Amino acid sequence: MLGKDIGIDLGTANVLIFIRGQGVVLDEPSVVAIDNYTNKVLAVGEEARRMVGRTPGHIIAIRPMRDGVIADFDITEAMLTYFIKKLNVKGFMSRPRILICTPTGITSVEQKAIREAAIRCGAKEVFLEEEPKVAAVGAGMDIFQPYGNMVVDMGGGTTDVAVLSMGDIVTASSIKMAGDKCDAAIMKYIKEKYKLLIGERTAEDIKIQIGTVFPGSRKDEINIRGRDMVTGLPQTITVTSAEVQEALEEVAQSIVLAAKSVLERTPPELSADIIDRGIMLTGGGALMHGIDRLLAEELKVPVMVADSPMACVAVGTGIMLENLDKSPQNRNRKKSFT
């Protein structure tokens, strides 16, 4: 059995793995549970995520990726090794080629850390590609033609904004304002307004179930439980969509400003293309209620959400893998990747 080519979307919140010829075969949270006494990995992925905030003192649930880059090298390696072993992609005599996506603007040290983690997990060769480029390809955009495409890829740790043409990035920006910052903003808001402490999972539930970033676009409410900071006892409160919108305002405006700064630095010809073609939203953050309407109103450009925003990067790695063996000329000549 030969080693297979695999593409990895090594995200802050989720890891998605694409195997050439099979499609997206794994989608699990980027969480590892460790026993502090023995330093042994107890659980990885969804099983570990269920332990977040619910473990005894000696067991800790760690997210080894922070802001789109490796924060804990050994744990990231353990996580990747577990997933790759689970998928059985190593051949008896050969090892897989791995393509991994990275945020734009990461340092060479951070790139080296990602490369080394993949090689130690059993990769024969490691290719790194910038995330917005891969996300655009996965969303069905033909970035290899001489006209402008704009993508906003909102993940767990970073939001990457890029304008692409001729198969490469023309202007780009990467900010550490994304899904995790939304959860933190909700936790802070509830703490300051209601003197109630809630965990990351509760904040994420609020964001998904009633959250919005566009004023007045949602009128839902949810009952949440937490610990009262005054009495120290459990308490239940009701939170509304309007309150969540207020909590998320700063994060939403940061994303709008990042998109504006990229547009301001884009050559006029490509800007004209973007007015015609619009902006594509990818990543888990694209599912945030009202983000497409907010960006469309602020930027005065049509905004679309990709069909499966969370899978765009993984699908894009698959399309890139299909073309690894072809020359750059062939890649540029390729009319459509959809």
CATH code of 10's domain: 3.30.420.40
Residue 91: per-residue pLDDT:
56
* 234 and 274 share one domain: yes
pLDDT per residue rounded down to tens, the chain (338 residues): 345 788 999 888 899 999 888 888 999 999 999 988 888 889 999 998 888 777 788 888 888 888 777 888 889 888 988 888 888 765 555 788 899 988 887 888 888 888 988 888 888 889 999 999 999 999 999 998 999 999 999 999 899 999 999 989 999 999 999 999 999 999 999 999 999 999 988 999 999 999 999 999 999 999 999 999 999 999 999 999 999 999 999 999 999 999 999 999 999 999 999 999 999 999 999 999 999 999 999 999 999 999 999 999 999 998 988 877 653 433 443 333 33
- Considering the domain boundaries, does residue 338 fall inside one? no
Residue 303: per-residue pLDDT:
96
CA pair distance 337, 135, nearest whole angstrom: 12
Q: How many domains does the chain have?
A: 2
CA pair distance 214, 272, nearest whole angstrom: 26
CA pair distance 199, 206, nearest whole angstrom: 11
* 23 and 96 share one domain: yes
Residue 3: per-residue pLDDT:
55
Asked if 317 and 134 count as a contact pair (C-beta separation under 8 A), the reply is yes
* 62 and 171 share one domain: no
CA pair distance 314, 98, nearest whole angstrom: 12
Residue 80: per-residue pLDDT:
87
Asked if 84 and 97 count as a contact pair (C-beta separation under 8 A), the reply is no
Residue 255: per-residue pLDDT:
96
Structural tokens at position 218: 């949602």
Residue 334: per-residue pLDDT:
38
- Considering the domain boundaries, does residue 44 fall inside one? yes
* 65 and 149 share one domain: no
Helical axes 291-299 vs 241-264, angle rounded to 10°: 40
* 129 and 261 share one domain: no
pTM: predicted TM-score of the whole model, two decimal places: 0.87
Residue 296: per-residue pLDDT:
96
CA-based nearest residue to 150, from 59, 300, 262, 241: 262
Domain region containing 44: 6-134+313-333
